[in-house]
Structures are given as structure tokens and as C-alpha cells.
Amino acid sequence: MSIDGFGAGPDQDLENPLGVGAPEMFEWFFRTRTWQQMHGGSEGESGVDDDFAAQAFDNIGAWILGRNMFGPVRGPWPDDEWKGWWGEEPPYHVPAIVLTHHPRATIPMKGGTEFRFVTDGIESALEQARDAAQGKDIRLGGGVSTIRQYLQARLIDDLHLVISPVLLGRGEELFHGIDARALGYECVKHAAGGRAAAHVILRKRT
């Protein structure tokens, strides 16, 4: 998130899926070896940022995504043409549960990704993700609204925050109105990354 608390920028649309200015928050990730290998490259930086990036994809058996993370389409699905931002082979490679208010048939994709659409809330999505993950971890991929819902429900075990030295000014605020301390979360790890990131791990107390 940005140093002024935003997890996504303003004016999200097809040309700006993360919001205006938000890609600057991900410069730390774009430089890593993990990112480069995900996109067919062999270069990229190692070090603290790459260690955190690689760990984020380790032992993942299922993802949960908000509808904004799947695409810019709003309201009822007009057709089956839109299949995500990532082309024929998305970067998930496991079942990805998509939260939506509008039913849609499951979409199998190349590389093992399968988009499954859930219309009955975050708890149902989590149960379906647990079944799909078969004992592995579940990664909550965002966006901000989805993370806020799971955080307020105390359904997140670990939250990896990457604080980027960027001022967005407007957008979606991650912690606005949320008392994470009262919800039982505490900081268990923090580390300075490379040129554009600081990493913080929040964990739910048991």
C-alpha cells in the first residue's frame, strides 16, 4: 500500500486496472527475479524483496479474488467473453475463487487455473477454497474491499503488507475504520526491502 494508506488508486478501469498511479506501488515486485520468471524472463533482482515475493507463491493450493481482481465488468455478466486480465494462461495455476453477486459457470484455463464464481459470501468462498486447496495455503489476492471484509471477519491468519514510498492522494484505503489491534492482529515481522518497499507481516493472535 502507499504511505498514505491506499491499497489501490482512483479511477480504476480497463486502462488502469489498479487505479491511476497505483502501478508505482509495485515497482519493488516488478524488479524481482520471481516476477521476471513468472513472465518468462531469466533476470531480475534477488534479495529481501525477491524472498518475500517467492514466499507469497509457495505452497498455495487456492486463491480468493474479489470481482475487481478478475475484471472491470460490472453488474450481470453480459456474455462469457471476459476471462480475466491475464490471457489464456493466468498466473495462479490452481483454483481461484471469485467473489461476485452474479452467477457464472466455472472457467478452466491453461496452466491449471480454474476460475470458480461464488455468490453467497466470503465464508462460503473460504470453505470452497479450503476444499480446493487440499491442505495447502489459501492466498487472498485482493482487491482492497475483499481484504477489508476478510480482515474485519478475522478470517486472515497472516497479512503481508508492502509499504511503498508513493503518495496516491486518493483511492481505496485499506485500514480506514478498521481497528486491527482490537481484532487481535499484531506485527510479528518487519524488514526493509530494496529501493521501493518495506515489508510488514501482521498475524492474528490465537
pLDDT at 121: 97
* Residue 152 falls inside a structural domain: no
For the chain, how many structural domains are there in total? 2
1 plus 49 within the same structural domain: yes
* Residue 81 falls inside a structural domain: no
40 plus 66 within the same structural domain: no
108 plus 69 within the same structural domain: yes
* Residue 109 falls inside a structural domain: yes
* Residue 201 falls inside a structural domain: yes
128 plus 186 within the same structural domain: no
CATH of the domain at 165: 3.40.430.10
101 plus 120 within the same structural domain: yes
Contact 18, 184 (CB under 8 A): no
167 plus 190 within the same structural domain: yes
Beta bridge partners of residue 199, listed in sequence order: 162, 191
What cell numbers appear for 25 in the block? 506501488
65 plus 48 within the same structural domain: no
pLDDT at 196: 81
66 plus 125 within the same structural domain: yes
Residues 9 and 11: their CA atoms lie apart, in Å, by 7
Look up residue 6 and give its DSSP letter: E
* Residue 82 falls inside a structural domain: no
Domain housing 118: 60-73+88-135
67 plus 123 within the same structural domain: yes
* Residue 47 falls inside a structural domain: yes
* Residue 150 falls inside a structural domain: no
Task: Count other Cβ atoms within 10 Å, centred on residue 126.
Answer: 19
pLDDT at 14: 80
167 plus 191 within the same structural domain: yes
* Residue 116 falls inside a structural domain: yes
Residues 25 and 98: their CA atoms lie apart, in Å, by 24
Going residue by residue through the chain (206 aa), what tens digit of pLDDT does each one get?
A: 999 999 999 888 888 888 888 889 999 999 999 988 887 777 889 999 999 999 999 999 999 999 989 988 889 999 999 999 889 999 999 999 999 999 999 999 999 999 999 999 999 999 999 999 999 999 999 999 999 999 999 999 999 999 999 999 999 999 999 999 999 999 999 999 987 899 999 999 98
48 plus 67 within the same structural domain: no
Residues 56 and 161: their CA atoms lie apart, in Å, by 11
47 plus 94 within the same structural domain: no
SS3 at position 55: helix
